[in-house]
């Protein structure tokens, strides 16, 4: 038994008109083929749908039930077409998004809110991890988009878009001689002890700190290493060292630490980028990426 749109429409027209002639007219066809179609329908179902009494056509109980179901089937079909098109156009769908730890605490929520508003049909699945892991997941297809740091050599199969830039600031103990300054030059810290991230943990930040000092003409005297940011903060708060950190950390004030902007400008920035697979054709990903770039520009 096959329910063509046409067949369902014919039955519905007949169910409303309760008259073969009028229904046929409404369907822009002659009466005989309508009779035949209804016979085929009833034969196919093995069920009598119409109570053909002369001068008074009625639906049997089964016919009444079928009229409801027919309407539902038609609606379901249209809904499927609609939904598939929306998915194809990226207005609906699933996007798996990776991001690096707390560093995105400022921009990510804003972005998610904008996405929920502009692309309400999108379901975003979040996964937090380190940049290296995220890159791997993205390339293997486990993620569709990732907000990562420092993709210094960007893999061939990925494309990145700047998402947010964050200055590096000096983290000084409250009692440090420059803690009260409006800004410091990196070179002012050449004699200080530094605590820096180990290269293995968050290579991006570690490398950038090293480069920044290099450009200011000195190698930081590295008194200690730490595996993560909280480790760094501990050393600084204890008054033992100074360090360099992303400015966003100021949103998580730590007693004993003062953050002071660097006088040097552009080079000492940490950039967060949105990365996607170059070959990815998923429209939802592109919509989201488009939204990201638009919300990033101004």
94 binds, among a second copy, DNA, none (CB under 5 to 8 A by kind): a second copy
**Going by C-beta distance under 8 Å and a sequence separation of 6 or more, which residues neighbour residue 295?**
110, 111, 114
Residue 11-30 contact track with DNA, rule CB under 7 A, x = bound: --------xxx-----xxxx
In angstroms, give the least distance from the CB of 274 to a second copy.
Answer: 19
Hey, is 297 helix, strand or coil? coil
Tell which positions 249-288 bind a second copy, by CB under 8 A: 281-284
Q: Where are the alpha helices (DSSP H) in the chain?
A: 5-17, 20-26, 31-45, 61-88, 107-118, 131-140, 203-215, 229-237, 283-296
Count the site residues for a second copy by CB under 8 A. Answer: 36
Q: Is the dihedral of CA 181, 187, 190, 196 positive or negative?
A: positive
CB 213 within 8 A of CB 186: yes
Task: Give whichever of 20 and 147 is closer to DNA, judged by the CB atom.
Answer: 20
Does 77 bind DNA (CB under 7 A)? Our answer is no
Residue from the set 72, 105, 123, 278 that interacts with a second copy by CB under 8 A: 72
Closest CA to 226 of 262, 200, 257: 200
Does 7 bind DNA (CB under 7 A)? Our answer is yes
Tokens at 13, concatenated: 């027209």
In angstroms, give the least distance from the CB of 112 to a second copy.
Answer: 20
Q: Which stretch binds a second copy (CB under 8 A): 19-27, 62-70, 119-127, 289-297?
A: 62-70
Closest CA to 206 of 195, 193, 216, 191: 195
In angstroms, give the least distance from the CB of 294 to a second copy.
Answer: 22
**Which residues in this chain contact DNA in the complex, by CB under 7 A?**
4, 6-7, 19-21, 27-40, 50, 52, 54-55, 57
């Amino acid at each position: 038994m096959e329910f063509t749109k046409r067949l369902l429409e014919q039955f519905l027209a007949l169910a409303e008109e309760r008259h073969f002639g009028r229904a046929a007219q409404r369907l822009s066809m002659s009466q005989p083929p309508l009779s035949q179609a209804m016979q085929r329908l009833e034969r196919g179902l093995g069920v009598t749908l119409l109570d053909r009494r002369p001068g008074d056509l009625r639906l049997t109980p089964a016919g009444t039930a079928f009229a409801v179901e027919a309407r539902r089937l038609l609606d379901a079909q249209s809904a499927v077409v609609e939904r598939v098109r929306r998915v194809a156009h990226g207005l609906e769908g699933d996007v798996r998004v990776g991001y690096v730890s707390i560093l995105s605490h400022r921009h990510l929520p804003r972005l998610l809110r904008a996405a929920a508003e502009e692309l309400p049909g999108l379901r975003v699945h979040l996964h937090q991890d380190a940049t290296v892991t995220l890159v791997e997941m993205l390339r293997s297809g486990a993620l569709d988009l990732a907000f990562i740091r420092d993709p210094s050599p960007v893999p061939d199969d990925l494309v990145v878009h700047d998402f947010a830039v964050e200055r590096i600031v000096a983290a000084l103990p409250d009692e440090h001689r420059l803690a009260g300054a409006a800004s410091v030059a990196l070179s002012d810290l050449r004699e200080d002890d530094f605590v820096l991230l180990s290269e293995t943990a968050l290579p991006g930040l570690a490398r950038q700190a090293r480069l920044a000092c290099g450009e200011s003409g000195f190698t930081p005297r590295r008194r200690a290493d730490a595996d993560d940011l909280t480790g760094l903060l501990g050393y600084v708060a204890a008054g033992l060292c100074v360090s360099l950190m992303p400015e966003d950390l100021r949103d998580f004030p730590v007693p004993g630490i003062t953050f002071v902007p660097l006088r040097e400008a552009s080079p000492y920035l940490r950039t967060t980028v949105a990365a996607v697979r170059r070959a990815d054709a998923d429209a939802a990903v592109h919509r989201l990426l488009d939204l990201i770039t638009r919300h990033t520009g101004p």
